[in-house]
Amino acid sequence: MSYLLAFAGFAALIILHEAGHFVAAKAVGMRVERFALFFPPLIAKWRPKNSETEYGIGAIPLGGYVKITGMNPEEVIAPEIAHRAYYRQPVWKRIVVIAAGPVVNIVLAFLILWVLFASRPMQHAQPVVERVVKDSPAQGVLQPGDRLLSVDGQRGYAAGLTPEQGEARVDALREQVARHSCAGAQRPNCAASTPVKVVVLRDGERRTLEVTPRYSGRDKRLLIGFQWATRGVDVGAGEAAQLSVTGMWNVTTTTVDRIVKIFYDSEAREEVSGVVGSVEVTRQTLEIDTVRAVSILALISLSLGIINLFPFLPLDGGHIFWALAEKVRGRAISFRVMERASLVGFMLVLFLFYVGLSNDIGRLSSGEGFGVR
């Protein structure tokens, strides 16, 4: 069932993206020939009575498309419908239609995050042990309920901390553990050369403990192996909107930064995930926490919107770029020029797809997984 739900969620993002193009095209008077979920060959298609639009489902589940009459300026079009062709429309109409898809994804991401923030307390990590990870260095040393007073002298728990202050202390404790290192090169599961000195409050008694962290290849840092407790804080609609925008901005800047870095940074390339990884992360998260899975879908929707706005054909941003270039130039740009320029965008999309799919296959075949659990 989790596979089906994850696939349905990803398909819904595609449908809504293409529906944005579809509705906008209809609204400005363009002629839509086909609305398809997934890529050809079509395995099912139908045309409602008295409709000019054919609807279909493709065999390759990697996207979808809306076919608008006249997307190719050299296309031969019947005179009676020529006035509704894409390239016969003013630049502003073309931009509205193309931008509608990514905008739907971005707005959808905002709405999902806003509802989640407004309807549920915002959780802040606290310097208290919630759960000890099985077979981790912390097993047999730390216990659920332990309050971490300090880590290597770095202050942790104290009475009267607000949830926000507690989370700040947690960040400091994490960084303190990460300062330790393995002897020699860092490698998965290597033990730190020196133990971490942890002072905890357990059953009203202070205890000084030592635990040797291990390096996590997945998290790229040394970990002790436990889950932090959290405290919830209710937020209003206004603050929920602010948190949603801030979170989306952080995701946007990170996405752009990583895409730029994949061309020269091997570590950045290893962090890229593709369609397979996105669906698998959503599926695994559904088995643990439905709300978290919905938030992941929101971030995937946001990423789809951002990536589609990159100014390269065949991405939506490429169509917007050339429409604006035409407006600035004052006359139409040769389709041959756009075709040659689209090779850059096509190679970029192909490269991203290859890197993402290769990483996904590698994680699945090696048993590394996607770090959900």
Q: What is the pLDDT of residues 272-292, one digit of tens each?
A: 666 555 666 666 665 667 777
Same domain (yes/no): 14, 103: yes
Cα–Cα distance for residue pair 290/86, rounded to 1 Å: 41
Domain boundary among 198, 233, 268: 233
Q: What is each CA distance from 230 to 226, 240, 332, in whole angstroms? A: 13, 19, 58
Task: Give a yes or no: residue 225 inside a domain.
Answer: yes
What is the per-residue pLDDT for 114?
94
Reference 54, options 62, 40, 263, 63; nearest CA is 40
**Residue range 120-124: mean pLDDT, rounded:** 87
Same domain (yes/no): 94, 133: no
Task: Lowest mean pLDDT of 1-15, 65-79, 162-176, name the range.
Answer: 1-15
Please count the other Cβ atoms lying within 10 Å of the Cβ belonging to residue 88. 16
Same domain (yes/no): 148, 58: no
Domain boundary among 233, 250, 278: 233
Task: Give a yes or no: residue 371 inside a domain.
Answer: no
* Ranges of H-type helices in 179-289: 237-261, 266-271, 275-288
Q: What is the 3-state secondary structure (H, E, C) of 283-348?
A: HHHHHHCHHHHHHHHHHHHHHHHHHHCCCCCCCHHHHHHHHHHHHHHCCCCCHHHHHHHHHHHHHH
What is the per-residue pLDDT for 169?
94
With tokens 């436990």, the residue in question is 226
How confident is residue 335, by pLDDT bands cut at 50, 70 and 90? confident
CATH code for the domain in which residue 214 is found: 2.30.42.10
Same domain (yes/no): 179, 114: no
Residue 217 has pLDDT above 80, yes or no: no
Domain boundary among 165, 199, 233: 233
Please report which helix (H) or strand (E) contains residue 64, including its range.
Answer: strand 54-68
Instruction: Please state the pTM of the whole predicted model.
Output: 0.77
What is the per-residue pLDDT for 98?
95
Domain membership of residue 53 as a residue range? 2-118+293-366
